[in-house]
Structure 1
Amino acid sequence: MTTPETVLSIADESPETLYALLESRGWGDGLPVVAPTAARVDAMLDGYDGDPDEIIGTLAPRLGEATPRVLAVNAVLAGCPAGLLPVLVAAVRGLVAPEFNLRGVNSTTHPVSAMVLVHGEAVERLGFNAGTGTLGPGNRANATLGRAVRFVMMHLAGGTAKGHDGAGLGDAATHGQPSKYTYCFAENTAASPWPAYPRTLGLDSPSAVTVAGMENPHNFHDMESRDPAGILDKAATVMATFGTNNAVVSDAEYFVVLGPEHAATIAGAGWAREDVQSYLYEKARRPAGDFRAHFTANLWRPWQKALRDDDLMPMTDHPGNIRVLVSGGPGKQSFVVPSWGRTRSVTVPFGAGTGTGAAA
């Protein structure tokens, strides 16, 4: 493994030797890795046209410095194919944005993971799967990019479940979740009746990547509805639960990821993305008295605290906190992803004409 300051020599790159090294240092995710030899790291850097030693940021809580060269090491470890380093760099720019709150995401007892969502021409060019099984196994780009982001959060930011970096560092999640291994999918722009998600943020770059501190996805299905309300009412029931942090953090986000068939039904009735957001904002509600019965400590807006017990209180304080996009393949299935709460999603453009990438 190489960085500008350090070279670690090992006798060979057999799985047994690598496992022993990673275990001794608290590295890795417990699965086999690719040895990041100098030749492999250099090959990964060949696909990046920026300064390989630029400090992109420091990652809390360990405050490790992220450079493209160090990210290339983690990309190789994760098994990333050549060409994915610019996407990983953009994703890490999102992680270090203050609003993402990486320290909180890495250190909480909540099972939050970094959800990575790829948009634009990079999806097809780099082989990401935006269709059937986009969150499942079998696609190298999806699997390894998500894994590389997790390695960065472990190796540079100190988010390791065993707390190898000492008291106050490490991943304190009570149970963790499967998406802490890898959590990456792609927007199916070709199947979406609405503009690509980054356009809603004012971004017009060839490609972009979104990172968000989220729980695992919760699927909902509707095989029968021929109108938007029937589909979205089911999404609202998934959103309106007291088991998520969204219930106590009023500005927390939801990602509502519609399958192409559900999206086509909704758009076919003339509904825009904003209509979906507004409808879910109105429908995903519970009586304010029920909220008060369950929670004493909360981060609600003053107007929410002023509601009467019988008034219906929204699960989030603004329709814009409900992020709507299309992904997946055939089938009348969609899913809702609740946020950890004290974090905001960040979308970073990359590709021709975007320079180093500006977060939105």
Structure 2
Amino acid sequence: MTAVRSVLVIGAGAAGTATAILLAEAGVAVDLVDVKPDVSALGSGITLQGNALRVFRQLGVWDEIEAKGYAFNSLGIRAPDPNGTLVAEIPDARTGGADLPATVGMYRPELARILVDRATAAGAKVRFDTAPAALVQDDDGVDVTFSDGSSGRYDLVVGADGIRSWTRHALGIELETRSTGMGIWRTFVPRPASVTRTDLVYGGPCYIAGYCPTGEDTMYAYLVEEAQDRSGLSPEDSLAVMRELSQAYHGPWDEIRESLTDPSTVNYTWFEEHVLPAPWNRGRVVVIGDAAHTCPPTLAQGAAQALEDAAVLSELLLSHETLDEELWSEFEARRVPRATEVVEASVQLGQWLLDGVQGDMPALMGRMAQLLTPPA
């Protein structure tokens, strides 16, 4: 017997779809809803570290992700000079195990489609363009009303609905989401043959200039600057700003810049962070993924930590017979310290750049590899 027989999952990102897959496959009745109109509306490029790949294998989607993404096992550091000189090639930690790549870059909508299709195949009932409107819980369950007028009663509600979580707000949880002081320009472009892994450039007009291959013919590139209000820029203005900032970077950036012609591929966001202190649940409602913890992408661990939340929560729901404090205490013990340390390390990497100090990056990266290599 499992701790739950019916679950509502709010949010069809990595945390939500992974939870839906693992529970539905075990025979739990799962409804998965997302406010977005369809799966294709879920982003651009994403970098996935080995500990994320380990969960994908558990979900039964690793083979497809391996086929659709772009795997690599090292990180390049280039100089902000006229040649984009490669100054270091660093083997990347295989945090998912020796039989998995260190890193996979992927087109985010493709990843979202794979996960949603897998959730549907596992038996979850998936509804897009649907949001919760109200929830009321008692000792035995949670009654939820949806934006389309329908309703349902569940043993558990999982809020995997992102940084601005509706679920968190509905529970009355106050959590400050803080800008770390950096903003990032991103674009999705064709992959030059010279781009075969992530390379980073520190210095120049931006804190970081980097890129990640996402497939045989695709990649995304990014420029990290001081956070500023870019909301008034038109798409054409945004493209012009990114092209101008990129002028300082060379090597593969010279080819990337030639492809920077479509304003619709450019977007700008701030780096943000928060961590919800334990407990992450209020009765029979729990928040996971970005709703509970979010970090800047300096360690590329956002999706990985969300997936680990889903794997641990599902394991406990399926192995315990009751939804009680023992279950929640075990969940918190396995997830809160680990996710908190990842957020703090991600913020620290950016803070060193903001402060213009030479932090001990090798030591930090080694500590993170040691933390993340054992399963959550």
User: Shorter-chain TM-score: which interval?
Assistant: under 0.3
Which structure carries more strand by proportion?
A: 2
Give the structure-2-normalised TM-score: 0.25
TM-score (norm 1): 0.26
